């Protein structure tokens, strides 16, 4: 199945946390969307690999995404090595997405930064006829980048006001990773009691910047072009007031 969009995350839950609203929006608009987790998150402080896979499947169903794959790379080892690039290239050649969604290049988690460099290089290599990997050479049209915890000035913001419920329904599938009263699991950055509320506050802040209830920020590396600037502007939620 050729995809319109493939959202890539280093670990299960990455895409739900930082671009789950956009994924929901694209599915709602009937784009063919898939998710690729590079690892199972086996180095995570909380949860088992079995449970992480179960949670990822539940989140896929919550977002009503038809395809979710795990690339099978090693958690904490997402450098742009030949073997890692080969596996990502083969994933791209199988699913042939027109656009990729990928973490931005600056974040507190080094795996997110490594994913940026790995996917960027694999995207180019996937189109090379002589690159030694399975599948017919193919290169996506482009990559859109989602900032994770560190956000500077986004290139654009997607209105996710209609998608907040579905986004957080998917996020709550990852019960092993988030705060649960009375649990004796070790605390992590995202299992802090207020983490999810802070994330919702961020969604509301970015929405406020475009006059909507909620939004997700995006980065691009080159200027976006259009042959119809009025159609582009009118595709956006009008700012109120």
Q: Fold for domain 5-234?
A: Rossmann fold (3.40.50)
Query: Given this model, what pLDDT does residue 148 score?
Result: 93
Beta-bridged to residue 219, according to DSSP, are 145
* Residues in contact with 94: Cβ distance below 8 Å, sequence separation at least 6, in sequence order: 135
Contacts of 140 (CB under 8 A, 6+ apart): 6, 92, 97, 98, 99, 100, 123, 126
Q: Are 141 and 222 in contact (CB under 8 A)?
A: no
User: What distance in Å separates the CA atoms of residue 7 and residue 37, rounded to the nearest whole number?
Assistant: 8
Among residues 9, 114, 109, 107, the alpha carbon closest in space to that of 65 is found at: 9
Mean of pLDDT over the chain: 92
H-run or E-run covering 62: helix 49-63
Q: How far is CA 41 from the centre of its chain?
A: 15
Among residues of the chain, what percentage have pLDDT more than 70?
Answer: 95
Confidence of residue 237 (pLDDT cuts 50, 70, 90): low
Confidence class for position 238, pLDDT limits 50, 70, 90 = low
What's the pLDDT band for 184 if we cut at 50, 70, 90? Answer: low
The dihedral built from the CA positions of residue 209, 154, 14 and 194, taken in this order, carries a sign that is negative
Distances from the Cα of 155 to the Cα of 26, 99, 225, angstroms? 18, 16, 13
**What gap in Å lies between CA 15 and CA 36, rounded to an integer?**
9
What pLDDT is recorded for position 225? 87
Strands 99-103 and 156-159 turn out to be unpaired
- 60-95 pLDDT, tens digit each: 999 999 999 999 999 999 999 999 999 999 999 999
**Taking 80 as the threshold, does the pLDDT of residue 185 lie above it?**
no
Alpha-carbon distances of 67 from 2, 32, 35, 61, 199, rounded to whole Å: 11, 9, 6, 10, 26
User: pLDDT value at position 24?
Assistant: 98
Across the range 168-194, mean pLDDT stands at 81
Cβ atoms < 10 Å from Cβ of 209: 12
Q: Please tell me the predicted confidence (pLDDT) of residue 183.
A: 64
Predicted local distance difference test score (pLDDT) of residue 15: 98
């Amino acid at each position: 199945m050729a995809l319109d969009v493939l959202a890539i995350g280093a670990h299960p839950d990455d895409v739900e946390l930082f671009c789950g609203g956009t994924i929901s929006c694209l599915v709602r608009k009937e784009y063919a969307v898939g998710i690729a987790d590079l690892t199972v998150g086996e180095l995570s402080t909380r949860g088992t690999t079995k449970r992480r896979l179960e949670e990822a499947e539940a989140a896929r169903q919550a977002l009503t995404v038809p395809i979710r794959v795990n690339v099978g790379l090693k958690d904490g080892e997402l450098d742009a090595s030949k073997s890692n690039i080969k596996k990502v290239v083969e994933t791209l050649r199988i699913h042939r997405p027109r656009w990729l969604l990928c973490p931005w290049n600056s974040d507190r988690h080094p795996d997110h930064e490594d994913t940026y460099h790995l996917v960027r290089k694999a995207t180019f290599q996937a189109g090379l006829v002589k690159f030694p990997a399975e599948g017919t050479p193919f290169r996506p049209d482009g990559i859109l980048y989602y900032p994770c915890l560190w956000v500077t000035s986004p290139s654009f913001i997607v209105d996710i006001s209609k998608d907040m419920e579905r986004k957080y329904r998917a996020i709550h599938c990852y019960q092993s990773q988030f705060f649960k009263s009375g649990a004796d699991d070790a605390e992590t950055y995202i299992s802090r009691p207020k983490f999810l509320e802070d994330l919702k506050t961020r969604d509301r802040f970015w929405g406020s910047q475009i006059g909507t209830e909620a939004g997700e920020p995006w980065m691009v590396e080159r200027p976006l072009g259009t042959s119809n600037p009025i159609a582009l502007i009118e595709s956006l939620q009008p700012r109120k007031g």
